[in-house]
């Protein structure tokens, strides 16, 4: 069976911040077809990029060479009920996996904001959510197989190719094509989410207490104010309830907000007022939702947006946020959309995990693009990056950043080890692109 490529395909990421025109676009349905693409790439000296849901707001998935979309390799291969482990093809979307796992009484212990992303993409970019007892999503992976540039299939786990396993859990698409992933699951569970208003001072003063009170604790800070919305998510046996309301969630929380943010592109000082107004409108009362775990852990991103998301040592949380607040107060012309989302993640020993060897706080900043219009963000972006670097931060691999190899060598104790493995597996740079060249050269 011969795999056929498509010419003239145009790729664009979800946020419409980056796009590319690969020379050939492939949708393999089996391992043999993946091998054929790599054989062809070797013969023609082409670069290869695997892509999943296209949710990364950066250019990490872009290529002018061969693009492999893994979406047709999306089967569940094995469910081990005793070990509560599932083996899947790399292109399965988490939204489909969530539904299938439910049939077996299983669930993923944590999920990112969205599930229209592939299993391989999620681990490759170091996707995370929140919960200080939970690592990034890649920590749920117990084994995987990947095909190298030479067409060799490597099986990796704690006991087989262990060093490569620790590298390939956050692989950046730079080590080969991930074919299958075995994930450690947990018994199916329901979550109760409560959100309530607070202040930045209160949350930072009592951070340890909040972290202990809730398994999946995060908070949203509204820049240009002291307003915070605290969100607790915890196991429950109570029946599902929803506080969702079309009028407030969409008519106000989406359509009115987008219109006002568009107006603020002409009158930037309005952002200060918009942030405070929407906190008062939507976040001043206590809200409760209960549902199956993935419906609570996932939430809607809604707007096209520019995003930065750095992991900093957890003990630097207050210092970093207060410095960001001070910067905004002393530069009233620099505007910041709400929310700044603050999440907490357990440390791990994955070579390129932003949480490598330390419990971390992720500080996620957003600038929305109302009706697709770009907004001035450079001053905010650069000040934020300076603060994050100053406290020892590491950027999210899927999101925008201005870091180079020199930065990563300082940030990651095992960066050289990863580079040596990458060069050994892919000596000709088949799996590189412009985004990864900035990382590795």
Instruction: Looking at the structure, tell me whether residues 168 and 195 fall in a common domain.
Output: no
Residue with tokens 């292109």: 91
Tally of CB atoms within 10 A around 191? 21
Cα separation, 242 vs 236, in Å, equals 14
- CB of 146 within 8 A of CB of 431? no
Domain final position from 129, 160, 187:
187
How many CB atoms lie under 10 A from the CB of residue 57?
23
Q: Does 283 share its domain with 323? A: yes
Q: Which residues contact 283 (CB under 8 A, 6 or more apart)?
A: 195, 197, 220, 222, 227, 229
Q: Given this model, what pLDDT does residue 265 score? A: 95
**Domain of residue 277, CATH code:** 3.40.462.10
Dist. CA 244–CA 372, nearest whole Å: 26
The range of the structural domain enclosing residue 372 comes to: 190-395
Strand boundaries in 52-138, DSSP class E: 66-69, 76-80, 85-89, 106-107
The DSSP secondary-structure symbol of 81 reads: T
pLDDT at position 378: 94
What 3-state class would DSSP assign to 282?
A: helix
Domain count, the chain: 2
Residue 276 sits in the same domain as residue 350: yes
Same domain, yes or no: 198 and 213: yes
Residue 391, SS3 per DSSP: coil
One domain, residues 237 and 382: yes
Same-domain pairing of 173 and 311:
no
* 139 and 178 co-located in one domain: yes
Per the DSSP assignment, residues forming a β-bridge with 386 are: none
Written as tens digits, the pLDDT of the chain (441 aa) is 677 888 989 988 877 778 889 999 999 999 999 999 999 999 999 999 999 888 787 788 889 999 999 999 999 999 999 999 999 999 999 999 999 999 999 999 999 988 889 999 999 999 999 999 999 999 999 999 999 999 999 999 999 999 999 999 999 999 999 999 999 999 999 999 999 999 999 999 999 999 999 999 999 999 999 999 999 999 999 999 998 888 878 888 899 999 999 999 999 999 999 999 999 999 999 999 999 999 999 987 777 888 999 999 999 999 999 999 999 999 999 999 999 999 999 999 999 999 999 999 999 999 999 999 989 999 999 999 999 999 999 999 999 899 999 999 999 999 999 999 999 999 999 999 999 999 999
For 188, half-sphere exposure in the C-beta direction (CA atoms, 13 angstrom radius) is 14
DSSP E strands: which ranges in 209-328?
Answer: 218-221, 227-236, 287-292, 305-313
Q: Which residues contact 288 (CB under 8 A, 6 or more apart)?
A: 192, 193, 194, 241, 243
The answer as to whether 3 is a domain residue is: no
Alpha helices in 94-224 (DSSP H): 94-103, 119-124, 162-168, 200-205, 207-213
Asked if residue 205 belongs to a domain, the reply is yes
- Phi/psi for 109 (5° steps) reads -70, -20
Q: Cβ distance 310 to 363 under 8 Å?
A: yes
Pairing outcome for strands 186-187 and 153-157:
unpaired
The answer to whether position 20 is within a domain reads no
DSSP 57: S
Q: Quick check: 331 and 205 in contact, CB under 8 A? A: no
Residue pair 37/80 in contact (Cβ under 8 Å)? The answer is no
Do 353 and 291 share a structural domain?
A: yes
Contact 309, 399 (CB under 8 A): yes
For residue 340 the two structure tokens come to: 């700044």
Between CA 167 and CA 415 the distance in angstroms is 10
Same domain membership, residue 385 and residue 295: yes
Q: How do 48-51 and 66-69 pair as beta strands?
A: parallel
Q: Tell me which residue has tokens 């704690």.
A: 158
pTM of the model: 0.95
Q: 44 CB contacts (<8 Å, ≥6 apart)?
A: none
In a domain, 121, yes or no: yes
C-beta of residue 224 within 8 angstroms of C-beta of residue 336: yes
Q: What is the CATH number of the domain that holds 114?
A: 3.30.465.10
Same domain, 164 and 198: no
């Amino acid at each position: 069976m011969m795999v056929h490529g498509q010419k003239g395909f145009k790729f664009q990421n979800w946020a419409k911040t980056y796009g590319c025109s690969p020379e050939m676009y492939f949708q393999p349905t089996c391992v043999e077809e993946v091998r054929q693409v790599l054989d062809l790439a070797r013969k023609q000296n082409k670069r290869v990029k695997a892509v999943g849901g296209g949710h990364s707001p950066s250019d990490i998935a872009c290529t002018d060479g061969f693009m492999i979309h893994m979406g047709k390799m999306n089967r569940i291969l094995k469910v081990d009920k005793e070990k509560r482990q599932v083996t899947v093809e790399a292109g399965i979307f988490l939204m489909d996996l969530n539904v299938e796992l439910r049939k077996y009484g299983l669930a993923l212990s944590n999920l990112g904001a969205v599930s229209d992303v592939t299993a391989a993409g999620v681990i490759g970019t170091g996707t995370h959510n929140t919960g200080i007892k939970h690592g990034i999503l890649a920590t749920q992976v117990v084994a995987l197989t990947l095909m190298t540039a030479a067409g060799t299939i490597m099986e990796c786990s704690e006991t087989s190719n262990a060093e490569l396993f620790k590298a390939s859990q956050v692989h950046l698409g730079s080590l080969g094509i991930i074919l299958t992933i075995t994930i450690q699951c947990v018994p199916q569970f329901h979550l109760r989410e409560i959100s309530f208003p607070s202040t930045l001072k209160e949350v930072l003063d009592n951070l340890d207490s909040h972290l202990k009170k809730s398994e999946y604790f995060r908070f949203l800070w509204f820049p240009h104010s002291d307003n915070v919305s605290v969100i607790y998510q915890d196991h429950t046996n109570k029946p599902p309830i929803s506080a969702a309301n079309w009028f407030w969630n969409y008519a106000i929380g989406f359509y009115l907000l987008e219109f006002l943010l568009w107006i603020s592109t002409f009158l930037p000082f309005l952002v200060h007022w918009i942030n405070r107004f929407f906190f008062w409108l939507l976040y001043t009362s206590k809200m409760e939702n209960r549902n199956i775990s993935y419906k609570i852990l996932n939430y809607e991103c809604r707007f096209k947006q520019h995003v930065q998301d750095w992991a900093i040592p957890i003990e630097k949380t207050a210092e970093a946020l207060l410095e960001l607040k001070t910067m905004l107060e002393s530069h009233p012309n620099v505007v910041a959309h709400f929310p700044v989302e603050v999440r907490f993640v357990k440390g791990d020993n994955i070579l390129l995990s932003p949480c490598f060897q330390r419990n971390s706080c992720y500080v996620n900043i957003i600038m929305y693009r109302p009706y697709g219009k770009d907004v001035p963000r450079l001053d905010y972006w650069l000040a934020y990056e300076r603060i994050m670097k100053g406290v020892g931060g590491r950027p999210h691999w899927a999101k925008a950043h201005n870091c180079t190899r020199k930065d990563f060598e300082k940030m990651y104790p095992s960066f050289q080890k990863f580079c040596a493995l990458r060069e050994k597996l892919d000596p000709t740079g088949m799996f590189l692109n412009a985004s990864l060249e900035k990382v590795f050269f």
